[in-house]
């Protein structure tokens, strides 16, 4: 069985400081030329995707940590979770949580605000939880992850998660790597993610992406470590 799709995080994985290198871009073109699909799985909001370089190369963008599905050719959006409750937003502001970025279905702030955020979530019982990504903190509906967002995209594409390679760098990429057939952490990934990766690249950021793409195109198959149990996959 081939890996037919690559699902990758954006900044910190595919890019560094918001910029994509030419070798990384060339690797993405090689992947597409081989007839494979590209999926962007990010915590970014849809308005932030307007600044994402070469978005046209991707079949879908799974935004807001799995809460929103965006068709990159039309920018049509499909919300996969409810909008943030007004009472939760008000409570966070009253608690002095700053800055706050309100998305279609998520709320974003800085990781330094985690104690205050947890206090608010504990007192209001809204069913929302936190997902950390390095220095950022996202507040999302319980059960919404990058994996659940990718599952919706794969259903539309008629692909099994076993046919997908996932690449990431942050804590919120753990569900994504565990869900897919092969989980890859770039060399600059946080230790918490590396523990869940089947492969850790030698190269950092986009160099790691290019590295794994070239390995996959050369061998067409990379096996997860023997004996590693992966969660059940559903198409």
Q: Which residues pair with 131 in a beta bridge?
A: 138
Do residues 13 and 205 touch, judged by C-beta distance below 8 A? yes
pLDDT of the residue at 50: 77
Q: Quick check: helix, strand or coil at residue 167?
A: strand
pLDDT band at 1 (very low <50, low <70, confident <90, very high): low
pLDDT tens, position by position, 24-41? 999 999 999 999 999 999
The pairing of beta strand 68-71 with beta strand 60-63: antiparallel
For tokens 């994509």, name the residue.
Answer: 20
pLDDT band at 2 (very low <50, low <70, confident <90, very high): confident
Exposed e or buried b per residue across 119-143, where buried means at least 16 C-beta atoms within 10 angstroms of its C-beta: ebbeeeebebbbbebeebbbbbbee
Instruction: Measure Cα distances from 26 to 15, 29, 185, 200, 207 in Å.
Output: 13, 5, 20, 21, 11
Rounded to whole angstroms, how far apart are CA atoms 231 and 183? 12
pLDDT of the residue at 126: 87
CA 123 to chain centroid, in Å, comes to 29
CA dihedral 60, 62, 63, 64 (to 10 degrees): 170
Residues 163, 169, 171: CA angle, nearest 5 degrees: 100
Instruction: Measure Cα distances from 92 to 58, 66, 82, 84 in Å.
Output: 35, 22, 18, 11
pLDDT tens, position by position, 41-78? 999 998 888 788 899 999 999 999 999 998 776 678 89
CA 110 to chain centroid, in Å, comes to 18
136 versus 227: the higher-pLDDT residue is: 136
**If you count them, how many residues does the chain have?**
235
pLDDT band at 11 (very low <50, low <70, confident <90, very high): very high
pLDDT of the residue at 221: 64
What DSSP line would sit under 68-102, residue for residue?
EEEETTT--EEE-SPPPPHHHHHHHHHTT--S-EE
Whether 83 has a pLDDT exceeding 70, the answer reads yes
- Domains detected in the chain: 5-79+144-219 (3.40.50.1000), 86-141 (3.90.1070)
């Amino acid at each position: 069985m081939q890996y037919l799709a690559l699902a990758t995080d954006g900044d910190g994985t595919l890019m560094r400081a918001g910029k994509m290198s030419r070798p990384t871009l060339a690797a993405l073109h090689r992947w597409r030329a081989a007839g494979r699909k590209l999926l962007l799985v990010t915590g970014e909001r849809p308005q932030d995707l307007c600044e994402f370089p070469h978005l046209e190369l991707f079949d879908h963008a799974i935004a807001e940590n799995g809460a929103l599905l965006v068709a990159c050719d039309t920018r049509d959006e499909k919300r996969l979770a409810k909008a943030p409750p007004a009472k939760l937003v008000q409570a966070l502001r009253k608690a002095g949580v700053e800055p706050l970025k309100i998305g279609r279905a998520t709320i974003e702030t800085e990781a330094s605000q985690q104690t205050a955020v947890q206090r608010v979530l504990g007192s209001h019982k809204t069913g929302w939880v936190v997902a950390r990504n390095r220095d950022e903190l996202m507040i999302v509906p319980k059960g919404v992850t990058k994996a659940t967002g990718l599952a919706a995209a794969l259903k539309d594409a008629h692909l099994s998660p076993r046919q997908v390679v996932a690449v990431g760098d942050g804590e919120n990429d753990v569900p994504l790597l565990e869900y897919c057939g092969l989980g890859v952490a770039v060399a600059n990934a946080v230790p918490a993610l590396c523990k869940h990766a089947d492969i850790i690249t030698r190269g950092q950021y986009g160099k790691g992406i290019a590295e794994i793409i070239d390995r996959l195109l050369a061998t067409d198959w990379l096996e997860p470590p023997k004996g590693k149990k992966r969660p059940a996959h559903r198409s």
